[in-house]
Structure 1
Amino acid sequence: MKWIGSDDPTLINDDRFAPAGVLAPKSKADFAFVLHALSYLSSKGRAAIVCFPGIFYRGGAEQKIRQYLVDNNYVETVISLAPNLFFGTTIAVTILVLSKHKIDTTTQFIDASGLFKKDTNTNTLTDAHIEQIMQVFDSKANAEHLAQSIPFETIAANDYNLSVSSYVEAKDNREVTDITTLNAELKITVTKIDQLRKDIDGIVAEIESEEVKA
């Protein structure tokens, strides 16, 4: 069923959407489905929903819905996945895990964007990758460049941004350069440039000499 958002003003009174105080945008229905799923969770329920990443950082109505979810301690974990995992889109999607039985007010962020196997046309999550994600999810342990549990206050102060990249520092994969080696290579390059200049000066002088004789 197509989400019509504010085109139907009665939706704001719907028990599924009313608690958030605002409707998801007509053109971006992700949070409409999120709130729908949340409304069906029991007091011990949990839901994992695949979402496009924009809803985790955009402003407006989506920010207000994020605030509602965070303020009421419904967001257990946000997991960013690698791009090109699903047929039909190369976008890197994000899994939003909702829970009505959290034991604290922190939210876990997992950066699983580097966990994939490269196939011909798509990327694939292997069983080993899934197991690694689930181990981190279950333990709620912090792991550098992979997972961080963030206090409610920090998220609130960050305008309720739920983007994983805002809380998990990406690993720097750039090659470490040895300064001594770099300086030696630079010295050799400068020497070669100086020699090249001398060679060019010699050629120019020879050409000018030929012109004078002519």
Structure 2
Amino acid sequence: MTTARDLLVVVIDTRSGTSVEPGDLSLALAGAELIDLIDAGAADLGGDRVVVQAPGQAAEPAPEPATGDPLLRQAASSLVRQEPHEPVEDWLWRRGRDLVAAYLAELGTTGSAASRWRSRKPSLSIDPSALADSPARRHANDRWAAHEPVLAALAAAAGVAAADGGDPGDGDPGNGPGGHDELADLGDDRVVTVLAAVNEAVVELAGVRQRRAVEAAAFDNIWRAV
């Protein structure tokens, strides 16, 4: 099971008291995919840009991720291979578009749940009974219960409360679960860069939602005054 699938399982299984925004979760899923691609050697970072070949291996083709996961293979095939390479945040926005619906369909929760995500409802709680019990599901929940730093940070970005019931964080990868102290133990600055980009994109998206809400309220007030 990939980190993105683990993240979606966590979102579904911790739905009580938690409401996630589809856009936030899509950005976090895209970040999870990129982290797995980096770990598999299918992608690398050059500063804040996603590169396909690791330094010194430009003449060699990037390896395919060692996984049977179709969505992760799709993510690998969509990597920009030409210079200038794509910034991490641009990858998140491009790859994240409607990514929640794609993962719900792969998990078998098609029907009304997936269609409601595609219709871009502001938030959605999915009944955990929609997800079959399996070793992969238990593995995801074990990672969550163990406060695995990467999964915790991605879940916090998506708006999922911490496994201990605490605050999911404030959009800063240094605060809340999976903060700088925990992530420093990973020994990979590339992962920290991706997580920071996810949080920045989520904050930007929240700003867009807030502006649209203000504009809609102002428009309503104008019509009331007519």
TM range, smaller chain: under 0.3
TM-score (norm 2): 0.20
Report which of the two has the higher share of strand: 1
| Bigger relative contact order, structure 1 or 2 (CA pairs below 8 A, ≥6 apart) | 2
Structure having the higher Rg: 1
